[in-house]
Amino acid sequence: MNGNIRRVGVVGGGQMGAGIAEVCARAGLDTVVCEAGATAARAARERVAASLDRAVERGKLEAEAARDALARLIFTGSLEDLSDRQLVIEAVIENADAKTEVFTALDKIVEDPAAVLATNTSALPVMRLGMATSRADRVVGLHFFNPVPVLPLVEVVTSLHTAPDTIATVEGFAARTLGKTVVHSRDRAGFVVNALLVPYLLAAVRMAESGFATAADIDAGMELGCAHPMGPLKLADLIGLDTVASIAASLYDEFKEPLYAPPPLLQRMVEARLLGRKTGRGFHVYGQE
- Taking the whole predicted model, whether its pTM rises above 0.85 is answered as yes
Rounded Cα distance between 242 and 251, Å, is: 14
Percent of the chain with pLDDT over 90: 95
Is residue 118 over pLDDT 80?
yes
Chain-centroid distance of CA 46 in Å reads 18
Per-residue model confidence as pLDDT tens digits over 27-42: 999 999 999 999 999 9
* Residues identified as active-site: 122, 143, 155, 194
What mean pLDDT do residues 194-213 have? 97
Can you tell me whether residue 139 is helix, strand or coil? Answer: strand
- pLDDT averaged over every residue in the chain: 95
Specify the CATH superfamily of domain 7-186: NAD(P)-binding Rossmann-like Domain (3.40.50.720)
Query: Domain locations in the chain?
Result: 7-186, 194-279
Is residue 249 over pLDDT 60?
yes
What mean pLDDT do residues 183-199 have? 95
DSSP string, 206-251: HHHHHTSS-HHHHHHHHHHHS--SS-HHHHHHHH-HHHHHHHHHHH
Per-residue model confidence as pLDDT tens digits over 121-146: 988 999 999 999 999 999 999 999 98
Task: Find residue 108's DSSP bridge partners.
Answer: none
Q: Please report the pLDDT score of residue 289 as a whole number.
A: 46
Nearest Cα residue to 223 out of 247, 209, 204, 240 = 204
Q: Please report the pLDDT score of residue 288 as a whole number.
A: 54
Assign domain 194-279 to its CATH architecture.
Orthogonal Bundle (1.10)
Q: Please report the pLDDT score of residue 182 as a whole number.
A: 98
Within 10 A of 4 (CB to CB), how many other CB atoms are there?
11
Is residue 2 over pLDDT 90?
no
Is residue 1 over pLDDT 90?
no
Task: Find residue 184's DSSP bridge partners.
Answer: 156
Q: Please report the pLDDT score of residue 35 as a whole number.
A: 96
Per-residue model confidence as pLDDT tens digits over 53-94: 999 999 999 999 999 999 999 999 999 999 999 999 999 998
Nearest Cα residue to 87 out of 41, 188, 156 = 156
